[in-house]
């Protein structure tokens, strides 16, 4: 069997780790191959280095090197180099880049500079993290450089209380997400380069050839939503013979971590499991929500809603969620 999943950062990576654990511990499913299509809208160039946060979160989580408490970055990390940059007053300092993590960004940037594509670079990084041996393929959604930017109000540098709005400005997604913790209202998201991006090699095929397509509980706006914006992806999802099953990223209207509610507010969508499912309803066959949201999820014409515990407390619990999503997929009429 071949499973294809669209994934963003921390939630997506943890879900894929649980999925792989379920497959590896279920007789008959061990040989299942999994293709993960990763969001690259979070990517940022810092200090001349190309940083791909969602790809790296997937690499480290699936490869066993992630800082589990954070969900991103490396375990046993140090920040000596960042300290040197701070001593020199090099900006920005609001994005923590650890010494081990910088190894990934230097390797990626060197290979990109030598003409390798992001897909080729990602495959080389995945090799080191042992993903092929786990029958896991990690594809960036596109090889075209794209970046999500957030449009916010530009205010007069006043006292801070009654600042007068004098316009708008776009800041990089990471500045909004990390430096401002999404506390500055996002007026809209703009993904530079997405309209002329081509799906990376293998991405559309992985959707069309899949036996099952899964949407992990990733951010529906800035992760899944960005992947859906790659030309051809949404059409492939609508056209695939495979059942498409998603897992709600909200429990009782709240994201377990991150700022999905702030992102949904920015696009005028209510922060409910039903509303998020509605964002995917043109291709979704099944939608798994937490029991807390079971009553509020409207049964859409063609989307079967199911409920089950969605808190990914550990790998076993996450494996159970993945198993439930696969059961839903197998119950979808061909
Ligand atoms: N998230 C933070 O909240 N603070 C950070 O300083 C930070 C640094 C960072 C460095 C590399 C990386 O791959 C991810 C990093 N993240 C950090 C997480 C990142 O902002 C988010 O995981 C994704 O971009 C959104 O899913």
- Mind listing the pLDDT tens digit for each residue in 148-192? 999 999 988 766 666 788 999 999 999 999 999 999 999 999 999
Mean pLDDT, the chain, whole residue set = 95
Task: Write the CB contacts of 139 (distance below 8 Å, at least 6 apart in sequence).
Answer: 35, 36, 37, 38, 119, 122, 200, 201, 202, 203, 206
Does ligand 1 lie within 6 Å of residue 190's CB atom? no
Atom of ligand 1 nearest to the CA of 101: 11
Atom 19 of ligand 1 has which residue's CA nearest to it? Answer: 53
Task: List the chain domain ranges.
Answer: 2-143+196-330, 148-193
147 Cα: distance to centroid of ligand 1 (angstroms): 14
Nearest atom within ligand 1 for CA of residue 177:
20
Give yes or no for residue 75 CB within 6 A of ligand 1.
no
pLDDT at 160: 61
- Band of pLDDT at residue 333, cut at 50, 70 and 90: confident
pLDDT tens column, 115-143: 999 999 999 999 999 999 999 999 999 99
The pTM for the full model equals 0.96
Q: Is 52 in the pocket of ligand 1 (CB under 6 A)?
A: no
Is any ligand 1 atom within 6 A of the Cβ of residue 65? no
Ligand 1 pocket residue status of 104, Cβ below 6 Å: no
| Alpha-carbon gap, residue 132 to 122, rounded angstroms | 12
The reply to whether ligand 1 has any atom less than 6 angstroms from the CB of 9 is yes
Please report which confidence band the pLDDT of residue 297 belongs to, taking 50, 70 and 90 as the band edges.
Answer: low
CB 12 within 8 A of CB 217: yes
Question: Tens of pLDDT along 96-107?
Answer: 999 999 999 999
**pLDDT band at 36; cut points 50, 70, 90:** very high
Q: What is the mean pLDDT of residues 288-308?
A: 82
SS3 of 300, please?
A: strand
Which three-class secondary structure state does DSSP give residue 51?
strand
Backbone angles phi, psi at 147, to 5 degrees: -145, 130
Q: For 39, which DSSP code?
A: -
pLDDT score at 159: 61
Residue 186 DSSP one-character state? P
pLDDT at position 244, please? 98
Report pLDDT digits (tens) over 12-31: 999 999 999 999 999 999 99
For residue range 188-210, list pLDDT tens digits in order.
999 999 989 999 999 999 999 99
Query: What's the pLDDT tens digit per position in 86-95?
Result: 999 999 999 9
Residue given tokens 């429990």 in the structure block: 251
HSE of 275 in the Cβ direction (CA atoms, 13 Å)?
17
Q: Is any atom of ligand 1 closer than 6 Å to the C-beta of 174?
A: yes
Determine which helix (DSSP H) or strand (DSSP E) holds 33, and give its type and residue range.
strand 33-38
Query: Candidates 174, 180, 182, 220: which one to mutate for ligand 1, based on the most atoms within 8 Å of Cβ?
Result: 174
Nearest-CA residue for ligand 1 atom 2 is 178
Class of domain 2-143+196-330: alpha beta
Closest ligand 1 atom to 181 CA:
3
**pLDDT class for 303, splitting at 50, 70, 90?**
confident
For the CA of 42, the nearest atom of ligand 1 = 24
């Amino acid at each position: 069997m071949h499973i294809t999943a669209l994934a963003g950062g921390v939630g997506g990576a943890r879900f894929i780790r649980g999925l792989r654990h379920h497959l590896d511990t279920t007789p008959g499913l061990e040989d299942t191959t999994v293709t993960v299509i990763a969001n690259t809208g979070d990517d940022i160039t810092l200090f001349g280095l190309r940083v791909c946060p969602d790809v790296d979160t997937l690499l480290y989580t699936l490869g066993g090197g992630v800082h589990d408490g954070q969900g991103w970055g490396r375990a046993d990390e140090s920040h000596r180099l960042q300290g040197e940059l701070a001593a020199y007053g090099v900006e920005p300092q609001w994005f923590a880049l650890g010494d081990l993590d910088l190894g990934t960004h230097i390797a990626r940037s060197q290979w990109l500079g030598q003409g390798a594509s992001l897909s080729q670079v990602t495959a080389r990084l995945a090799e080191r993290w042992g993903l092929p041996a786990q029958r896991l393929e990690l594809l960036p959604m596109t090889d075209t450089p794209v970046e999500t930017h957030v449009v916010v109000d530009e205010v007069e540098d006043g006292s801070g209380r009654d600042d007068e709005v004098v316009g708008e400005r776009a800041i990089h997604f990471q500045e909004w997400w990390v430096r401002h913790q999404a506390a500055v209202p996002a007026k809209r998201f703009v993904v530079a380069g997405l309209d002329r991006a081509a799906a990376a090699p293998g991405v559309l095929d992985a959707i069309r050839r899949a036996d099952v397509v899964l949407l992990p509980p990733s951010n529906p706006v800035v992760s899944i939503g960005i992947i859906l914006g790659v030309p051809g992806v949404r059409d492939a999802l609508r056209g695939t013979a495979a059942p498409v099953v998603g897992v709600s990223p909200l429990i009782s209207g709240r994201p377990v971590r991150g700022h999905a509610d702030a992102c949904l507010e920015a696009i005028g969508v209510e922060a409910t499991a039903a509303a998020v499912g509605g964002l995917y309803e043109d291709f979704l066959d099944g939608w798994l929500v937490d029991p807390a949201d079971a009553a509020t999820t409207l049964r859409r014409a063609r989307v079967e809603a199911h409920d089950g515990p969605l808190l990914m407390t550990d790998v076993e619990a996450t494996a159970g969620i993945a198993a439930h999503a696969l059961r839903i997929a197998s119950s979808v009429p061909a």
